[in-house]
Chain A
């Protein structure tokens, strides 16, 4: 537990990071050390961390810069699960080049794997595939996998919630349990981005954060 990851700050409104259990205060501008301090040393492995923020508050940008940081500082691989089409390889290239120059670009891009999953069932299948590959140890990429980003998790959960059926709740709980098990069993750091503020999605259901 407790792998320190140095984060590169992004200009503009920072997203509100928080962990599954407690709500941390919102910081408007984050210097590098500030964000690390806010997160008590960085993002923890064996835990699922959620980043919530309004639309266009910089969550995907935060995830992209985090990917670059993990690859270069911690020398580990990253799997980025894109559920809303927000991942841009060009943008990742831009960030990587500006921080670490062109010579490291190929290494960074090779260390980030992108999986597309546009509904909850595909997402669960993708998580199962990742788990299989980590257990079987056939693919060397997964031996040094440390960070799993799901951007965004609310995009796959929202369509199944609502109405009188309880299926949505069951799927949501199952998904969050799967993420937790993956994080704990393989010492991964799982990062999930969420949609709106004021509503928290946890495995227990939707709750108000006021």
Chain B
């Protein structure tokens, strides 16, 4: 028989802060509870940058000193497998965002630099950063997160950058058997699935395009193949099946070398919402992501 405190019961059954509407041009109505979002693309296409901007948008408060900051005031667990997370970049994005909003707000006070710093420090306390060096470590870390999730009902999102970081190492350690190679990632997917269902969490992960579908020989002759179809065809699930079944939305991100712009397109999996044909273009500047 398991007993839990009232707080734990609340954390388990109660709702977590909603992050709907964050980075809205890209995510439309925003990630809703129990969504598993995958950002897929080759290197340098802006996936980690999107995650960073999401974090900035989520940990900022809704309003501050009667200025509407549009944050979601929720906590985030960020698992950095690529050792790429840059706290400086996050603070820069947050600062620029706050200053831009303050400039436009007519009722803002003057000389707020110190206060902005304090605000950012308070927001950063809502971010937990975890770094893992291999998939076993990731698995054990996820198991241990259950306690954290139980005691903190403010956590709405788990972000993983990237879920494909240990793909090659697992493949080599697993020897000949495919099951052994995918074992850790399958278990990871199961743990995530359990968290999503019991805590109504959102999971957002980046996946690097380590494997691409082989192009058909007659592909170039098909002039009618639209951009969207090409992006859809690019993806082939090379991680384990369990992960593939867990994902509910996949965002294909691409970089256009000529114009230095990034393109992003969303595909809803397992539902009939595939009618969304829009491709969003964005740029990465000092202020973060700017949708064009």
Contacts and interface: CB of A to CB of B under 8 A. Distances in A.
Say if A and B assemble together: yes
Contact of B169 (A1, A21, A170, A205): A170
Interface of A is mostly: helix
A169 interface: yes
Contacts of A172: 168
A138 interface: no
B83 A170 contact: no
Contacts of B42: 207
Nearest to B162: A204
A126 interface: no
A44 to B, nearest CB: 10
A169 B88 contact: no
Interface in B121-176: 131, 133, 165, 167-169, 171-173
Contact of B171 (A22, A166, A184): A166
Contacts of A2: 88
A171 B43 contact: no
B172 A1 contact: no
Contact of A1 (B43, B88, B165): B88
Given A204-B208, A205-B210, A166 B172 contact: yes
A173 B168 contact: yes
A172 B171 CA distance: 13
Interface stretch (A54-62, A116-124, A174-182): A174-182
Contacts of B88: 1-2
Contacts of B86: 1
Interface in B1-53: 42-44
B236 to A, nearest CB: 15
Give the interface residue-count category, chain A.
Answer: 20 to 34
Contact of A181 (B133, B169, B173): B133
A2 to B, nearest CB: 8
Contacts of A205: 210
A171 B133 contact: no
Most chain A CB within 10 A, of B168, B169, B172, B173, is at B168
A205 B168 CA distance: 10
Contacts of B172: 166-167, 169-171, 174
A167 B175 CA distance: 10
Contacts of A183: 83
A169 B172 CA distance: 8
B83 A184 contact: yes
Interface in A81-140: none
B63 to A, nearest CB: 32
Most chain A CB within 10 A, of B86, B172, B210, is at B172
A172 B86 CA distance: 24
A209 to B, nearest CB: 11
Contacts of A169: 168, 171-172
A170 B168 contact: yes
17 contacts: A1-B86, A1-B88, A2-B88, A166-B168, A166-B171, A166-B172, A167-B172, A170-B168, A173-B168, A173-B169, A174-B169, A174-B172, A177-B83, A184-B131, A204-B210, A205-B210, A207-B42
Interface of A: 1-2, 21-22, 166-167, 169-174, 177, 180-181, 183-184, 202-205, 207
Interface of B: 42-44, 82-83, 86, 88, 131, 133, 165, 167-169, 171-173, 208, 210
3 cross-chain pairs, A with B, having the tightest CB-CB distances, nearest first: A170-B172, A173-B168, A184-B83
Given A1-B88, A173-B168, 20 more contacts: A2-B88, A21-B43, A166-B168, A166-B171, A167-B172, A169-B172, A170-B169, A170-B173, A172-B168, A173-B167, A173-B169, A177-B169, A180-B82, A181-B133, A184-B131, A202-B43, A204-B43, A204-B208, A204-B210, A207-B42
